[in-house]
Amino acid sequence: MKKNFYLLIFNALSIVSLCIGCKSTTKQTTEAEITTEINENPYKDAEIKAVIISSEDNTFGYDIYVYDAILIHQPSRPGVSGNLGFATEEDALKVAELVIIKMRNNEMPPTITMQELQELGVLK
């Protein structure tokens, strides 16, 4: 009986050491690798274009396309109450270009602040 008990302990220890050996040979994913995968920017080298669109009362907005698929539809001025767009196509394009820059810098969502609209001179 004692012999069987020692045999059982020996087998259990053998299995544990085998499992430890297997674990040490498997690749462990580091936190840095996980962070890099999560923060990978899908828009860095993507084909992105802005298309100026007509909006209410002869104003303008923009659509942002990524590989010919619409990602952002912005018919009005972001962060400004109401449904009116920008006064000119050029103003809409300035903001759309800033959105694309933010996307390429992995700023998602590419939120536009009131201060940025003022700096671009598009609030009229």
Q: Where are the domains of the chain?
A: 2-38, 48-120
Chain centroid to CA 17:
43
Quote the radius of gyration of the chain (alpha carbons, Å).
Answer: 29
Residue ranges of the chain with per-residue pLDDT less than 70: 1-38
> How many whole angstroms separate alpha carbon 102 and alpha carbon 39?
14
Exposure string of 27-47, with b = 16+ CB inside 10 Å and e = fewer, is eeeeeeeeeeeeeeeebeeee
Give the pLDDT of residue 53.
98
Give the pLDDT of residue 48.
96
Give the pLDDT of residue 68.
93
> How many whole angstroms separate alpha carbon 75 and alpha carbon 52?
9
> How many whole angstroms separate alpha carbon 61 and alpha carbon 89?
8
